[in-house]
Structures are given as C-alpha cells and as structure tokens.
Amino acid sequence: MAFKVLKIMKEMASYAGGYNVKSMGIKIPFNKDPLDKILKCKIEKSAKIFFDKVQKNKPPLFSIIFSKIVVNIFLKPYVIKNREQYQVILNNWLEKGIIKDGK
C-alpha cells in the first residue's frame, strides 16, 4: 500500500512540473546509534554528495515538454474558467510569469 501511495505522489509531482531526483539511503549496522561520530561523518558526506547531485540535475527534456503540455492544455483553461475557486493559484502563476494578465 505504501508503495502505491508513493508512486501516486511521484506522478502528481511530475504532473505539477516537478521531477524525481532519486533518494538517499545509508546503510548503518543494526542497533547502532546513527549519531555516532563515525556514522555522523559518513551521513554528512553522503548527504553532501546527494545534494550536489540534486543541484546539478536538471529535468529531462521529455519531462519539461510533458509538464508544459499538461499545464497549458489541461490545467490552465480549467483554472481560468473557475477563476473564483482558484484565485490563489492564478495570483501565483502571475507572479511566476506562467500567465500574463490572468485572462
């Protein structure tokens, strides 16, 4: 069940213009304190490598095109049609330059 929920959340993030960058896993011995000095150093190094990869990563071209299509063809007309309900989203889109004048 948890994997289904995680898969759905990743798909929703993808539809909203996000992308999956992987995840970080660190193997530590069973029943060990994760904040032990040696393990803490290992965790910090792994986290730094992970965050460096995340910052260098850019979304794949297909993901960019797919999100533009979903937003412009499906989401934007629906949100503009139901302007009263989605006014906060429209204001956010105006600030980010996704739409020009809210019409």
Q: Report DSSP state, residue 18.
A: -
> How sure is the predictor about 86, in pLDDT bands with cuts at 50, 70 and 90?
confident
Q: Where are the domains of the chain?
A: 61-96
CA distance 67 to 96: 15
Q: Give per-residue pLDDT as tens, 37-68.
A: 777 787 788 888 877 877 776 777 887 888 78
pTM for the model: 0.38
42 and 32 Cβ atoms separated by less than 8 Å? no
- The pair of structure tokens assigned to 25 is 């896993």
Check residue 26 and give its pLDDT. 63
> How sure is the predictor about 69, in pLDDT bands with cuts at 50, 70 and 90?
confident
Q: Report DSSP state, residue 71.
A: I
77 and 65 Cβ atoms separated by less than 8 Å? no
Check residue 7 and give its pLDDT. 75
Q: How far apart are the first and last CA of the chain?
A: 41
